[in-house]
A and B are shown apart, each in its own frame.
Chain A
Amino acid sequence: MATVVSRPAKRRIVGTPSSWLVWGVVAFFLVNLAGVVGSVLVSSFGTRWFGTWLPEGFTGSWYASAWQEFGLFDVVWVTLQVSLLVVLISVLIGVPASYVLARRDFPGKKIVYFAFLLPILMPPITYGIPLATVLYKYGFAGNASGVVLANLVPSVPFVILTMTPFIEQINPSIESAARMCGAGVRAMFLRVLGPLLVPGILAAAILVLVRTVGMFELTFLTAGPDSQTLVVSLYYAMSAAGIRAQQSVDAMAVIYTSTMLVLLVVALRYVNPTQLVARVKETPAP
């Protein structure tokens, strides 16, 4: 029952029973996943589909009707604006903070760190409902600014928690050397630290982008009729099923997924896939 790992010298084509079991489970998962995605994809191109394996014919017209019916141009535009704003602001706020957290030791650091961890650990609905109430009170909710503010709540801590380890692994003596050579604080940040941080910032920004486009709860709670992002308007289209043809909802879902897929492929070019989820690799015990 030796695993393949332990004996690299002896290559076996025939796997052990455990390998077969594991790959069988993976295959089963993937087949069902393909079924889930495929059924939406086929349905979005199908004409009439009742109880048969495949629809009677294929057409692309659902995409056109979905695009018009749901006003997708505006929705995509809002999604783009909101996500880019969230990315920009969370990087601007988060990166300086993670620099301090990575380099300095100060009283109360643990509490600050915990406060940054909490928005990520809490379910979005828990703080989303009070947050939406507060935002409505001050007139932010119901338009794009409220959506941006609400989405910043998990994004800023996310940037901080991904950037802090990244800054920690940059050798601090580089900064000291720059200071010794006469660089001022600003020159040190812009000319020395900045270029070194670019890969990390890029990774964090793309991850925030993916998460913001996919974030449902917070946008759902704070969006008004003309500030819905793609995922929220998809939800409304689905939960009001019956009014619209099933296929145009499917077409919209395909549009959403392809957007996310493009983002993910871009992200994977810059980011190690494990970073996509390793929001906090060492969650400190509170």
Chain B
Amino acid sequence: MSLTVERTDPTPTGPRDPGLSHRLAERGIDRTLLLLLPAVLFVALLFVYPFGYGLQLSFAPAEGGPLASYAAFFSDPYQRNTIWITLGLALPAALLNVLASVPIAYKMRGRFRGKRLLTIVLVVPITLGTVLTAQGLLNFLGPAGWFNKAVVGLGLADAPVQLVNNYWGVFFSLVITGFPFAFLLILSYLSGIDPTLEQAAATLGADWTQRFRRITLPLLAPGLATTFCLAFVLAFSVFPSAVLVGNPAGETRVLALAAYQAAYEQYDYSLASAIAMVMGAVELLVIAVVLLWRSRLYAGSTGGKG
């Protein structure tokens, strides 16, 4: 990262050289920028440097050419498939969280009694964290849990349904932890849209499908894209729940787990760094696609209270 662009600034503000400091100040470079220095140094030392170190490490395996770690990852289907497993979990979960939030947030616009309470209740899962969610899912959805008791009791199934220690356990945990985030963001975007726009459309005879498709959705779309990105980031780094409620040896062996195992079980730091880089690249790719699509949308004011 070329963080050093403005780092050349400790300007010689001696009285002798008013010309240079003045010219620099005109371009926005003066001593105030020094306030930025700790943060930039911090990011450079603790994020950019380790990242570069990891990148270099991933190209320097113990044996083989510079690309041997990547080759090892991509040639082994057990490792390679973790990409699809992770995407297969994160994309549907993020999509569901975002799409389910829209109608709920739509109904929760405006004021009504108990809105604050309902918001808080919907936000509570944030406090659960992945580990308690995992523990709760194991208890609740397990073969002897309440859910299966109810399902069998109601006659919906003959035998307990297998819902944990497989794909669905991880998926549910992603929905429980991810939904509140998506919901709160969508709610804030939706309440930022001026309701009079829709009322105007209603007076012109648009029914609710038309109002939603022609007015709310286009104004909401950029927010949807951003929310999807953040929800995806959250779901993509799934790690504890994949181990605890998933099937970490098989169908929920996600990228993060593969990287962790390479680093702390095989002590192959080069391979671990390579997997971590692949993970970052895949994630940024998805985000870039979404943001590219977003940049083609309307990006102006939504006219609301913001």
Contacts and interface: CB of A to CB of B under 8 A. Distances in A.
Nearest to A23: B107
B3 A112 contact: yes
| B interface majority secondary structure | helix
Contacts of B85: none
Contact of B32 (A35, A104, A157): A104
A102 to B, nearest CB: 11
A121 B50 contact: no
A136 B284 CA distance: 27
B184 A118 contact: no
Contacts of A276: 123, 126, 184
Given A6-B198, A104-B33, A253 B131 contact: yes
| A interface majority secondary structure | helix
Given A3-B208, A6-B202, A123 B35 contact: no
B51 A37 contact: no
The size class of the interface chain A forms with chain B is 35 or more
Interface string A123-158: 111110111111100000000000001101100110
Contacts of A73: none
Interface residues of B, number: 106
Nearest to B127: A260
Given A126-B279, A152-B46, A250-B135, A2 B6 contact: no
Contacts, number: 294
Interface string B145-157: 1110100000000
Interface of A: 1-3, 5-6, 8, 18-19, 21-23, 25-26, 29-30, 32-33, 35-40, 43, 50-51, 53, 92-94, 96-97, 99-101, 103-109, 111-112, 115-116, 118-119, 121-127, 129-135, 149-150, 152-153, 156-157, 160, 210, 214, 216-217, 231, 234-235, 238-239, 249-250, 253, 256-257, 260-261, 263-264, 268, 273-274, 276-283, 285-286
Interface of B: 1-3, 5-6, 9, 27-29, 32-33, 35-36, 38-40, 42-43, 46-51, 53-55, 57, 100, 103-104, 106-107, 109-110, 119-137, 139-140, 144-147, 149, 176, 179-181, 184-185, 187-188, 195, 198-199, 202, 207-208, 211, 226, 229-230, 233, 236-237, 239-240, 243-244, 255-256, 259-260, 263, 269, 272-273, 276-277, 279-280, 283-284, 287-288, 291-292, 294-295
